[in-house]
Amino acid sequence: MEKKGAVYLIGAGPGDPGLFTLKGKRVLEKAEVVVYDRLVGDEILSMANPDAEFIYVGKASSRHALSQDEINALLAEKAAQGKIVARLKGGDPFLFGRGGEEALYLKERGHRFEVIPGITSAIAVPAYAGIPVTHRDATSSLAIITGHEKPGKQESSIHWQELASGIGTLVFLMGVENLEFICDNLISHGREPSTPVALIRWGTLPRQQVLSGTLENIVKRVKESAFQPPAVIVVGEVVKLREELNWLESQPLWGKRVVITRARAQASQLVERIRDLGGQAIEFPSIKIEKEKNLAALHNAFQNIGQYDWIVFTSINAVDIFFAESRQAGLDIRDLQGIKLGAIGPATRDKLLARGLRVDVVPEDYRAEGILKELRDRIKPGQWILLPRARGARSILPDTLRRWGAHVNEIYLYQAIAASQVSQATLKNIIAGNMDYLTFTSSSTVSNFVKIIGAENIAGLKGKVKVACIGPVTADTARENGFNVDILAQEYTINGLLEAILADL
Distance CA 107, CA 92 (A): 19
Closest CA to 410 of 431, 384, 428: 384
The kind and range of the H/E element at 384 are strand 384-390
Closest CA to 230 of 427, 96, 47, 424: 96
Angle (CA) 261 53 229, round 5°: 65
Catalytic site residue from 59, 288, 291, 462: 59
Is 59 designated active site? yes
Distance CA 491, CA 498 (A): 10
Sheet containing 169-173: give its strands across.
142-146, 169-173, 231-235, 196-201, 209-214
Is 504 designated active site? no
DSSP state of 188: H
Angle (CA) 458 462 464, round 5°: 115
485, burial (CB in 10 Å: exposed 0-12, middle 13-18, buried 19+)? middle
Distance CA 363, CA 374 (A): 6
List the beta bridge partners of residue 343: 313
Q: Please, where are the H alpha helices in 284-410?
A: 296-303, 316-328, 346-353, 368-375, 396-403
Catalytic site residue from 78, 83, 89, 174: 174
First to last CA, the chain: 62
Write the CB contacts of 350 (distance below 8 Å, at least 6 apart in sequence): none
User: At residue 10, what are phi and psi to the nearest 5 degrees?
Assistant: -115, 130
Catalytic site residue from 16, 37, 92, 436: 37
How many CB atoms are closer than 10 A to CB 272? 12
Write the CB contacts of 94 (distance below 8 Å, at least 6 apart in sequence): 9, 100, 115, 117
Distance CA 491, CA 489 (A): 5
Distance CA 492, CA 468 (A): 12
Omega prior to 17 cis, within 30 of 0: no
Residues taking part in catalysis: 37, 59, 174
